Structure 1
C-alpha cells in the first residue's frame, strides 16, 4: 500500500511534465512548438486530396489516385464501429493495404531475424491526423487483418466526406484508425 501511495504522486508529476513539454507551456521559448510549425511538418493542407504517396522503407515509392486504385482487385467489407458522433454501420470498397505494400516492396534486412516484424505503416491525413498499423497485422501468417484503402462506399459511390481514400480497419470497435483524406502512407522500422 505504501508503494501505491508513492506511485500516484510520481505518475501525476510525470503526466504534468509530459504535458508541459508536449504542449510548450512553461517550456523555454526555444522548446515551444507553435501550431503553425506543426502544420508545416504535415503534407496536407486540411483539404480533400486527389492523390496520396506510399513512401519510406520501400523499393518503389508510389503515387495513387482514384483511377490507379480502381485498377487493383478490390474488396468489399462491412464494418461497425463507434465514433464521437455515435455508432457507424456501413460498408466500403477498396484495395487491401497489403496489396499496395507488396507492389511497393517493403525493404527488409535479411541479416535481421524476422525483420518484417519491425515494420509499421504510418497513415497520414490532410489535417495531419496519423494512425499506425504494423505490417505483421496485415500478413496472413500473423494478424491477417483485411485493412483496406477504401475509395468507395459499399454501394460503389465515391467517398464524399472522406476524401479520395480512407483507411478502413474492420474489427476495430472504435474509429480511431479510420483515417480519412489520406495524403501519405509511410513504411518505417521500429528501432
Structure 2
C-alpha cells in the first residue's frame, strides 16, 4: 500500500479535524488509522493533570499506547540499542510537531505510557481535538500533546534540524 507521507500543498498546515492518520516510516506494515480501526485495538486509561492558562486541568483519557501501535505496525528496532537511536515524529494537521525518542516509549527502556487517545472522561473526542490526539502523561504542560493527528513516522539517526 502506498502511503503519502507529506501533506498535499493545498491542505498543508491548515489544521482542523482529520478523519484518519497514517503510521509510516521504519515499520514493516505502514497503516492508516481511523476512528473505527483505532477503537478495535486494546485500550488503556491514563488520568492526567496538566497546567493551562486558566489553571490545572485533570482528565481521564482512553486510547491505545503509542508503543503498542508501533509494535502492531512492526517497528524496526535495533535489539542491542532498544531504539535509542530512533525516534517518532508526530505531526498534526496544523503541522505542529513533537519528537519522542523510541527508547522513551520502549517498556524495556523508558516505558513512557504515551497514548494515542480517542476518548476523554468516558466520551469520544470531538472536532476540537480530532478523533485522536497524543497524550504524554507526566508533562507539566500539555506541550507535547498533539491535536488532529495527521502522521506518526518512525526514523533512525539524528532528529531533523528545524
Is contact 1:121–1:134 with CA below 8 Å preserved after alignment?
yes
Structure 2: 5+ residue stretches without partners: 1-7
Cα distance between partner residues in 2 of 1:158 and 1:176: 18
Q: Which residue of 2 aligns with 1:167?
A: 134
Cα distance between partner residues in 2 of 1:186 and 1:43: 17
Is contact 1:147–1:167 with CA below 8 Å preserved after alignment?
yes
Cα distance between partner residues in 1 of 2:14 and 2:153: 18
Offset at 1:98?
A: 0.6
- Give the structure-1-normalised TM-score: 0.72
Q: Which residue of 1 aligns with 2:88?
A: 121
Offset at 1:78?
A: 0.6
Higher helix share: 1
Q: Which residue of 2 aligns with 1:59?
A: 28
Q: CA RMSD in A?
A: 2.1
Q: Which residue of 2 aligns with 1:149?
A: 116
Offset at 1:41?
A: 9.8
Cα distance between partner residues in 1 of 2:78 and 2:11: 29
Offset at 1:117?
A: 1.1
Cα distance between partner residues in 2 of 1:89 and 1:132: 24
Indicate how the Cα distance of structure 1 residues 138 and 42 shifts in structure 2: closer, same or farther if over 3 A, else same.
Answer: farther
Indicate how the Cα distance of structure 1 residues 88 and 42 shifts in structure 2: closer, same or farther if over 3 A, else same.
Answer: farther
Cα distance between partner residues in 2 of 1:69 and 1:103: 12
Aligned length: 151
Cα distance between partner residues in 1 of 2:155 and 2:58: 32
Indicate how the Cα distance of structure 1 residues 42 and 105 shifts in structure 2: closer, same or farther if over 3 A, else same.
Answer: farther
Identify which of structures 1 and 2 has the higher relative contact order when contacts are C-alpha pairs closer than 8 Å and 6+ apart. Answer: 2
Q: Secondary structure at the match of 2:67?
A: helix
Structure 1: 5+ residue stretches without partners: 1-38
Offset at 1:76?
A: 1.0
Q: Which residue of 2 aligns with 1:99?
A: 68
Higher strand share: 2
- Give the structure-2-normalised TM-score: 0.84
CA-to-aligned-CA distance 1:112-149 (integer Å, 9 cap, x gap): x4162111101100100001111111111211111100
Cα distance between partner residues in 2 of 1:162 and 1:189: 29
Cα distance between partner residues in 2 of 1:52 and 1:44: 14
